Structure 1
């Protein structure tokens, strides 16, 4: 049951509708591209070699506006994707066997904002707590270990808090600490480790595909000069584009898989509570 609930079942679920998976991959890829483009456009005019070209106030303002627009659009697409994942979790709580439809984008955006905000608050709190410990730790091994334990607890806490929010449909459910801590167990820790390992394995090949053309680009620029780089650049561009598309699709698939596994665990714990309640009656 362990591997069926947390490995094979969720992996199969993520492939239940390839068109929906591909659409999610496209949204993710475009969002990352826009965010990178926004950062590039924001910094490019201020590079020392470009100051004489883009150094005027007007040109800098144009770059800043375009950079802001690209970044906001990219962030918006990521938030929509988070809203879709939340919708997927809600349907998974009802034991749906297929990925949800990509529809009602305004609702996906609104729900995605709450989803993203909840995770951000928890992550920021954990980071602040770790920084406080590190600041006063004076390189103490005990406090360094404590900081690592806090990071592990936050990593374990976030998935269950997200599923609990989807279940309760209340922002406060993110911070129902007693309930979420009570749901943690050695089974959950084992499942978390297995899901993390599988996610890493799934991402290794796409990451290598992304790194390969970058190594080729910088290597050729260093050892063969601009002329050879110009000849090979179209091929490197095609390889990089293909790698980025594969990376985006697999990244979304990993999100679908992992949250399906966490939802299955959440459901199993709720069923245990119901069975205990019926037994007491």
Structure 2
């Protein structure tokens, strides 16, 4: 494993590269696009476990902190969706320069929405796009994020004058909003609102993983409908459900929840990729 800062147009991005041993290397590498805000922090351990498993199978993995996130350069309040698209392209280019011949994208939650968009935009570049519990609607995700501010205001007794609608209006008026320690800019919020995981026909298959509460439970109706729409549009899409907890969204900030079923299911699918 090697940790380094990758020079970018603005500053540098923290990267963690899991490089397979030469005897097991397949020439295949994956760019991981992380989840958003605190979800990224809650999921790092599960992502790292999976990256090590893939590396043991001969697959290179590059984990990147996007602009303004984690230990990368930039202020979160200055991040934009377009800058994050550039970061995905930057990571992809580094893997190509490092000698990997086959490339994939792997995104989680909001990072899944970003990864899918990048895969559709460059159909000849990526062999496959792996999605972990991807956000379907950027606008709905923004609403859920704004509710954190409303909930915190209620707990502190300062709920008067604070609602999702008022916060949304502030963003649409060009004002930044502080939420759970993150200063969300109007530019980034606008980028969320305009993004939806719409049916498309990318040049690479989609491998979708959904975490459910009980073994055998089907994916959510919204997910099932979207998967049907993607397939009807001509996409090759595999939907996998695994039993586990929503480790990216635990209420206790100090609690880290494991999800070994997701790690194993992803590793099992990877055996076909190589």
Report 1 or 2 for greater relative contact order, CA contacts < 8 Å, sequence distance ≥ 6.
1
TM-score (norm 1): 0.24
Q: Which entry has the higher C-alpha Rg, 1 or 2?
A: 1
Point out the structure with the larger helix share. 1
Indicate the structure with greater strand content: 2
TM superposition score normalised by structure 2? 0.25
